[in-house]
């Protein structure tokens, strides 16, 4: 099955840009290799269906093995890039972020010596989307702290309503995190919580943008 995770996109300056860039490049390279090896497998499969010989069956089996190896290596490099990406705003939630990074690292090690991806498909999916959600929470939380610090340095009646928005934003962070936290212990099937978590983070981002625009107006006037 052609299974590709989304490409890791840098949302802001990375704490270790050279390392992340390296892992991102590795992932893109391994992704292309997997696509090529998977296509070769499909071609060998078609040939085997036509001739049904020992030779064509052997070629198909070898191509399948190479595609599986390429798939696991592609996935491993994706997890490595994602794990490094989490360093960007880790200071916002160091303990939670470290837990997710450890999970990703565990999956990386597993992929080195195991090929039956279906047996670990659900935990890997959960870790990937948990990481994506937590990264956005960390990024927005860091932005919130900066905006609060700036607001505290400005004396303007326009800013009097800003503190009312802080608990609302944090509430959206908590709800977004709860979506992946309540799903990460289910091993039977993967429930894609990302759209619901993303919806909460869009709400918090809108509030952050409102705060930013209010601060900008106060500074300029």
For residue range 18-46, list pLDDT tens digits in order: 788 899 999 999 999 999 999 999 999 99
135 and 81 assigned to the same domain: no
In a domain, 213, yes or no: yes
Q: Are residue 98 and residue 17 in the same domain, yes or no?
A: no
Query: Considering only CA atoms, which of 74, 76, 82 is closest in space to residue 10?
Result: 82
Helices 54-85 + 94-113 axis angle, to 10: 160
Q: Evaluate whether 139 touches 89 at the Cβ level (below 8 Å).
A: yes
pLDDT digits (tens, 9 = 90+) for 197-207: 999 999 999 99
- What would the mean pLDDT of 136-146 be, rounded to a whole number? 95
Total count of domains within the chain: 2
Residue 139 in domain = yes
Scan for tokens 């090896």, then name that residue: 37
Q: How confident is the model at residue 99 (pLDDT cuts 50, 70, 90)?
A: very high
Q: 204 is in which domain, residue-wise?
A: 94-221
Q: Which of 36, 52, 85 is the last residue of a domain?
A: 85
In-domain check, residue 1: no
What confidence category does residue 10 fall into, taking pLDDT thresholds of 50, 70 and 90?
very low
Among residues 53, 85, 117, the one where a domain terminates is: 85
pLDDT at 5 over 60: no
Same domain, yes or no: 109 and 194: yes
113 and 194 co-located in one domain: yes
Residues 79 and 99 placed together within one structural domain of the fold: no
Q: How far apart are CA 154 and CA 217, in angstroms?
A: 12
Question: What is the pTM assigned to this prediction?
Answer: 0.87
Which of 34, 65, 85 is at the close of a domain? 85
């Amino acid at each position: 099955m052609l299974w590709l995770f989304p490409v890791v996109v840098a949302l802001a300056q990375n704490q270790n840009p050279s390392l992340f860039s390296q892992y991102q490049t590795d992932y893109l390279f391994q992704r292309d290799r997997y696509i090529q090896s998977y296509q070769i497998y499909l071609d060998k499969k078609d040939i085997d269906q036509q001739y049904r010989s020992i030779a064509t069956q052997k070629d198909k089996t070898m191509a399948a093995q190479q595609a599986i190896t390429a798939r696991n290596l592609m996935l491993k490099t994706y997890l490595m890039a994602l794990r490094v990406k989490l360093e960007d705003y880790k200071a916002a939630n160091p303990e939670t972020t470290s837990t997710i990074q450890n999970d990703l690292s565990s999956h990386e090690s597993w992929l080195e010596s195991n090929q039956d991806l279906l047996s670990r498909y659900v935990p890997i999916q959960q870790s990937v989307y948990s990481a994506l959600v937590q990264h956005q929470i960390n990024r927005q939380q860091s932005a919130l702290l900066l905006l609060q610090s700036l607001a505290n340095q400005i004396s303007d009646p326009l800013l009097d309503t800003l503190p009312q928005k802080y608990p609302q934003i944090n509430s959206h962070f908590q709800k977004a995190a709860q979506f992946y936290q309540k799903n990460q212990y289910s091993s039977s099937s993967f429930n894609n919580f990302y759209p619901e978590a993303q919806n909460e983070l869009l709400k918090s981002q809108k509030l952050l943008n409102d705060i930013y625009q209010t601060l900008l107006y106060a500074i300029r006037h």
